[in-house]
Each structure stands twice: as structure tokens, then as C-alpha cells.
Amino acid sequence: MSQSRQDTVTYPFRLAALLATASVGLLQTAAAQTTTHSVSVMRDLQRPSAPGMMPRKPMAQRIPVEPGFPAPTLHSGTAHDPYENYTARWTRADARQIKGMSNPNVTPGTNSMPASLTMPAIPANFPVMNPYVWVWDTWPLTDAHGNQYSYNGWDVIFCLTARKDAGYTFDDRHVHARIGFFYRRSGIPASKRPVGGGWVYGGNVFPDGQSDAIYAGTPHNLHAEWSGSTRVASIGKDQINIFYTSLAFNHDVNGANITAPVATIVIAKGSIHADLDHVWFGTFQPHVPLLVPDGTFYQTGAQNQYFSFRDPYTFEDPANPGKTFMVFEGNSAGVRGDTPCNASDLGYRPNDPYAESVDQVNTSGAIFQRANIGLAVAEKPDLTKWKFLPPLISGNCVNDQTERPQMYIKDSRYYLLTISHRTTFAAGIDGPDGEYGFYGKGIRSDWVPLNNNSGLMLGNPTDLNTAAGTDFDPNPQQNPNAFQTYSHYLMPGGKVESFIDTIQGLRGGTLAPTVQVSLNGPNTFLNYAYGQSGLGAYANITPNKANIDFPGFLLDVQYAEEHPYTPDAATAALLYGINSRNSKASTTAEIEQKATDFLIGHGL
């Protein structure tokens, strides 16, 4: 994969020196002059070279040791009204604590970060869960409180997928992404499953063309389905709601934008079905567009052709009963490169000797990074109409991507989680690929960044003293597992699933081993007693609840193409199928118990 295109831009030399000081190793400093010199800088600095791809970040091969680090911004965690015009900040003072935790004296190419916040290294001989499609962002079937459900005896997961045989590369997959699904029988312990998790690929969730229908009349030549979340609409029934991001791209023959991409958060209402042998989905209603960026809170394509607006995650808050909320990835509104940061974005305490000035930051190129995590609230009970609220948190001049945000509520403690890349951090900020998070006392809080006020929850093994490289072009002097996993998702019980990106130069596109973290207020740590030295089974995404729809199961056995039975024969076939997996039942009570065990995932 070729490098991001660069342009030669003429700058006054003093400005070039400022860029060099704030973007470590990007430019060489020299004596101040008033003459003009040509300095090669990346257009829009760390812009991605293609949709979904990791951008390059200009860095010295060996990054100089910093003389010291600032104190983090003071955050209280205090809850605010969800509707209040208040947005917390992940400041530069906070994010610089990440580098402050890094050991500058490790052997080059090893891990410089604390072991308690580092995912163990995954071996390069990882299993591949499916030979036909690449798999990345993945989520389970959940309710409004984050509980994960099986359906009538089957575990089900939803994944972004792309075909391996379609003529494009792993790094080009994003503009071809479809939401696929996998299923497996519930209740099988990890020790009895195939090493890759035992998941069966069910195909695409939506029929061809259905998700693209919302863009009728919009100029585009590529369409993709990007991440979201899937909710059980009603326990004991088969109705589901899929929230996802629909993308329309209008590219020339070289892959450049003719017009900016169009991103829309969408709901698709449908039904899930299962019989004795497999899982499938019924007809989905026409997909309903819910939200597009407004340019007031959330950056638009007109303001920035590389804007982020995606990854809806819906939930209910016990403190606000009767309301359904959504978090999503956004960028702070404003024209890219023309919107400076201010002292609040930097967050330094008065007279901190390691503070930067606002001018230093704004001339470093950091103004191109303007991530935020957005909030919306449903205005109709059927969840087909939503209203923007102010962002929950911004990372202006800190990072450009806060992907796949998630609200995790446990025992009246609120965790706002997200994922991000090392190469999307702004100039002067550094941190590993991984999961980041914030702790508060309500869904809108003065969020406290996790772990030493840094925000880092779980990173890949990374040497922050050595240049990053990228997943598609790794730096041979960097830790070979620095891009091993991405797209982390926190599940009940502190389990974290993700997908394999690049390990020792080998591309993944398959699910990673599950790990477990412990959360204690603003502090977390990896449980190395889980699995084998902290690595659990591959693709170990296990429901903590069961959705049993017995009438629906009888109908699915009756009417599925594989089982064209009459109603009486359907019941007989169901009981025969259940009993063929168990000892024969002789009484009605035993038959009912066998059926219940099958639907829950027991009695195999």
C-alpha cells in the first residue's frame, strides 16, 4: 500500500520550527531566520489515505525522551442533566499522561506500557474463523441495558464482513463492508468448541440493495454498511432493531472523493428466526434514516471530507426511565484546519512548567484532530425519530477518532468507552491502539479519564519510544504486536472482544481471543488469571441471558424451507429433534423440560 500523498507547502521558517517543536521529529529545527524555505508536510496532516484506513503519523524513528509531563486536568465525575449544554473534555493535559506511563528505557521494539493496561501478545498462528470473508467490528444481540442474548438456543453475533475473493485487498474492505452474521449452539463451553470459536457464517443480514435504497438520487458509486448495535425489541418475541451506519462514496478511478462521503445513522426493523439446525432473518422493513451530522455539534462532509459520523450504540439509563439514548462517533463541528483549539481543550493547570501554549498547539497541526462522542435521544417509542444533544465529550487537539463508543452502566457507575488508533492522536500526543474510557456518575458527566487520568483502558503491546508505522505498513523496529487487535467491545462480566488486525506482519480479519478487565471506579486492570496468561478463547462471545420464543420456534420449524411440515408434524419434528440430542423423554413434563433446555442451550 502506498504512502499517503504529500504536498510541498511553503512556510516561513519560524512557523516550521514551531511545527517541529510541537510534532516531535516531524521537522528539523534550525536557527531562526526570516527567509522562506520549502517544508514537506502531509496534506491535512494525518488524514486517512482511504476510508476506514489508519492514517500515517509523521514521527521520528526513535522518539526523544520528554523532560517531564504536566499534571492532568482536574475532573470531578459529577453528573449533569443529559439535556444540558455541557460537554466534558479529554484534554491534552489528560492524554499526555499516556506517554507519562510509558517506560523510556525498555529494549526497542518491546512493550513500554504498564502490563496491567496491555493486552497480552497473541501468537501469529491464530485460527481463522471463516475462509470466505474477512471479519472485523463485531457486536452481540443485546437488550437496552447491555445484556447479551441467545435466541431459541443459538448464540448470534453481527460483524462487518467483506469477501476475500472479490478482487480487493484487506485494506480496501471498508468501502465494501456488509453486516454479516454468525451463529452457534448455545451452552457449549469454550473447551468443547473448535479453536476459532465454532461460529457458522450465515451470510449478509440485509438483502442486496436494501441498505443502499436510502441513497436513491444521491450521486455515489460505492455503498457500505458500517458498525452499529442490535437490540432485542421485545423479550420472548422475534423482533429486533438493528442500528447501523450507511455510507455512500462517490469516488473517481483513483479512489479520490468526487464529492464528500455521505454518512447516515439508520434503523432496520426485522425478525430473527431459528430452527433445530440454523439461524436466519425475516424480511426487514424499509430502512429508516435517523441522523445525519448537523454542522452545529457534529462536523459535516462540507466542513471536512474526512469527517467521522458513525457507530450508533443505543441504551436506556436507569436514572432517566422511559428514555432511550444513543452514543455515536463524531467530530466537533467546524471547518477542518480553520477551527483552533482553546485553553480549555488543552486543560493545563496554572503555571504548569510542562504546559504548552495555545499558539504552540494550534500551529503544530493538532487542530486537524477534533474527535467527539455524540449523544442523541429518541423522540418516538418505536425509535424511528431522534434528536441531537450536545456531545458528551470532545477530544479537540487530542485525537481525530473516538470509534464505536459504548455506554457501560454497572452499579450506578457509568463508563463511556471508545477505541482509537495511535496514528490518529494529534501532534504531540501519543498512545497505543486500543480501548479508551472515562468514568462518571451519569450519562453526561465531567468525565474522569481512566487510569491515571490518561483515558487508556487496554492497549496493544507497544513501544511508544519507537515510531508507530501502520497496520498495513508496520515499522520493523516497532513491537510486532502493536496492531494485533482493534475494535474492542466490553461485554458483561468485564469480558472484552476484538478482532485481529496485524500480527508480526500477518493480516487477520478474524476474531481475537477474549480478555477480561476489572473495573473499579476510574481504575481498571487486565485479569491475567483469565484464560491462559490473560488470553481467553478465540471469539468467546457468550450471552448472559436467553430469549426464548417457543411459539416462534414451532412456527420456524414448521415453515422453514428445510422443514415444510404441517403444524402437527412440526411439533412432532421439534420433539423428535430435541430428543435425538438427549435421552428419550416419556412424560409431558419431561418433554417440556427437554424443549426448554434446548432453547436455553442446555441438554445437548
Q: Which residues are catalytic?
A: 137, 403
H helix or E strand, kind and range, residue 280: strand 279-281
CA atoms within 13 A on the CB side of 494: 14
Q: Are strands 370-378 and 324-331 parallel, antiparallel or unpaired?
A: antiparallel
Instruction: Give the three-state DSSP class for 536.
Output: coil
Radius of gyration of the chain (CA): 25
User: Measured between alpha carbons, how far is 337 from 112 in angstroms, rounded to an integer?
Assistant: 32
Contacts of 251 (CB under 8 A, 6+ apart): 175, 221, 222, 257, 258
- CA torsion 343-347-349-352 (nearest 10°) is -90
Question: Which neighbouring-strand residues pair with 293?
Answer: none
- CA torsion 97-45-394-304 (nearest 10°) is -170
User: Measured between alpha carbons, how far is 47 from 109 in angstroms, rounded to an integer?
Assistant: 26
**One-letter identity of residue 287:** H
H helix or E strand, kind and range, residue 583: none
Nearest Cα residue to 471 out of 150, 207, 136: 136
Q: Are strands 36-42 and 88-89 parallel, antiparallel or unpaired?
A: unpaired
Would you list the DSSP string of 263-329?
EEEEEEEEEEEE-SS-EEE-PPPPPEEEE---SSSB--TTT-TT---EEEEEEE-TTSTT-EEEEEE
